[in-house]
Amino acid sequence: MTAIDFDAERTYDDEKFSAVEVFRSERMKVVCGYFEPGQFIPVHAPSSDVLIDVRSGTGLVRDGDGEHRVEPGDVVTIEADADRGVKADDDSRLKALLVTAPPPTDAEHEPVRRGLRTGEFDPTDT
């Protein structure tokens, strides 16, 4: 059994969101995500389902063409191959548990790397 202590894992980065991987298997990846105000995971569409459990803070989750406001206690699920992204509000740190199944490939995360390099929440628009 893997027990997750969000406070013990917590780490924030002034430059970009912080993702602390706490579990991985061939079938699933679990990450604690820590976002300073305005930070984000750029929009991308890997071939994996994702569950996002908002632990604290407020923000926005992209699900396909829609965007949903999120706050503590919200759980969002997004099916494989749908655009998804997470963004903390400009006035709030955001802390979330992200579970992907199966884990996305390195190639599927290229839009994430590109968006972080260019500061774009939705690098798929370019």
- DSSP class per residue in the chain: -----HHHH----SSS-EEEEEEE-SS-EEEEEEE-TT-EEEEE--SSEEEEEEEES-EEEEETTEEEEE-TT-EEEE-TTS-EEEEE-TT--EEEEEEEESPPPTGGGHHHHHHHHHT-S-GGG-
- For the stretch 60-93, pLDDT in tens is 999 988 999 999 999 999 999 999 999 999 999 9
- For the stretch 15-26, pLDDT in tens is 889 999 999 999
The pLDDT confidence band at residue 94, using thresholds 50, 70 and 90, is: very high
Domains of the chain from N-terminus onward: 6-125 (2.60.120.10)
What pLDDT is recorded for position 27?
97
